[in-house]
Amino acid sequence: MDPTNYKSISGTLSTTNIIMANSSRQMWQSVLDQAVRMLASGPFALNFFSASASVSGI
């Protein structure tokens, strides 16, 4: 596949919610995995050849 067809998005998420702030890396990865599944099966599914998400810096 032509590299010009790829899009990489990165960012930082900050929270002041004490419960969310103390959540484990595994919990955050689970949230991201669910978001990827929603992209793959939702109304935008045809726009994604593949998608992945990962947690870093926790």
Q: Outline where 1-58 has alpha helix (H).
A: 18-21, 25-41
pTM above 0.75, yes or no: no
Give dist(CA 31, CA 16) in Å, integer.
18
6-47 pLDDT, tens digit per residue, is 777 778 878 788 888 888 989 989 988 998 888 888 888 888
Render pLDDT for 44-53 as a digit per residue (tens, 0 to 9): 888 877 778 8
Between these two residues, 1 and 8, which has the higher pLDDT value? 8
pLDDT at 3 > cutoff 60: no
